[in-house]
Structure 1
């Protein structure tokens, strides 16, 4: 995820954090069925349906070759992220902050879970992997410096003058205890980050499962609106 993409998505998600509990301050039971509410709901549903373009293009070779003439997979993934976040934003506005229908509540919850699990896979896990590689590289450097320092000390060299063999790996004047502390801190940080990464690895299962649930609930919601009629027409 690029810096601009991360800033935009972060701003919309921050707005969502305020919109979801906004029913405490404002609630309009009839807004969702009004013309304005219908427009917002239809736009949100269209964006949610457009999310299917990326997975279909990714797993269908025939559709991928067709869509490749219009956009790259990278562009489709960026659109997938934006459409999901902005679709959730419009859907929350569509509710009018009125969460009394069990179907509506379930749809909002599943939609937010789709957004969160999608962002975990798009940003958090790749960023975690990059940070892990950086920490492992630093750990390898510190271990090399420790080994060279230990050899130097075993040869009864002065701890204040660590010598050319390890001068490039560790700053002069750094005692061996600081190397040990640095290695221990990095090992703990790497272990914690790897544990968190393993916890979030099944994100794709959660993302697909909640997406399927969301589309089923969305179909029921749209069918209910059509069956009971749109209030803004009458």
Structure 2
């Protein structure tokens, strides 16, 4: 079910990215102010408000207590994602490829950036989180293995260990505390270094995506500000279909 949802959302994002290119072959300057265009624009504006439900349910204690026993957080997140993708698509249909005003261009650009960055950030964060948890477990296992190998290396030699230098050169792998153990330690240490580097890299990426969340919030504020201005200007200058 989750994979199907990811495919659907991915397809909608691809449609969202390709849709603005339609202005090369089609422009309908009067459609945004028509009855159909206005209704689509109203639906887009309402859908842009829907993602706030998830944010409120996650950040505001009163709203969280209301939704927690009634709706799963995963369901709210799915609604947040679908609304965040469908709203810009309806917004682009409402615009009808009419990109001749600074506000329209800004609003369209912010919608596209928000939807694409939200999609990429959401699914990349999941992959980074899963990878970081897996790497951390692998790191703990390697450290345990290295510690065990070190203990085996420090064990006293048995009386049967040959003391002849020729025998030591050719038969060391058969005895504890000799070259075989050292090779195993070197292999584990090398793997440990690789995993530690991967964990550090993933933590850095996770920190960068933490900053991305702040940028995402700032873009959302700008979007709602432009949306309010757009609605106000439409009401102030009058609706064509009235």
TM norm. shorter chain > 0.5: yes
| Distance of aligned partners of 1:189 and 1:25 in 2 relative to their CA distance in 1, 3 Å threshold | farther
Q: Is 1:201 aligned to residue 213 of structure 2?
A: no
Matches within 5 A, 1:67-216: 71-119=71-119, 122-149=122-149, 159=173, 178-216=187-225
| More helix by percentage | 2
Tell me the equivalent position of 1:169: none
The structure with the larger Rg is: 2
Give unpaired runs (5+ residues) of structure 1: 164-173
Give unpaired runs (5+ residues) of structure 2: 158-167, 177-182
The Cα shift of 1:199 comes to 1.0
Deviation sequence 1:157-176 (CA, Å, 0-9, x none): 855x798xxxxxxxxxx966
Contact 2:17 2:112 survives alignment (8 Å): no
Please provide the CA RMSD for this pair.
3.2
In 2, Cα distance between equivalents of 1:199 and 1:107: 26
The Cα shift of 1:102 comes to 0.9
Aligned length: 222
Structure 2 length-normalised TM = 0.74
The Cα shift of 1:44 comes to 0.8
Contact 1:117 1:206 survives alignment (8 Å): no
Q: Is 1:226 aligned to residue 226 of structure 2?
A: no
The Cα shift of 1:47 comes to 0.4
Structure 1 length-normalised TM = 0.76
Tell me the equivalent position of 1:170: none
In 2, Cα distance between equivalents of 1:68 and 1:191: 35
In 1, Cα distance between equivalents of 2:68 and 2:184: 58
Contact 1:120 1:203 survives alignment (8 Å): no
| Distance of aligned partners of 1:136 and 1:227 in 2 relative to their CA distance in 1, 3 Å threshold | same
Contact 2:16 2:112 survives alignment (8 Å): no
Tell me the equivalent position of 1:29: 29
The Cα shift of 1:17 comes to 1.7
Tell me the equivalent position of 2:43: 43
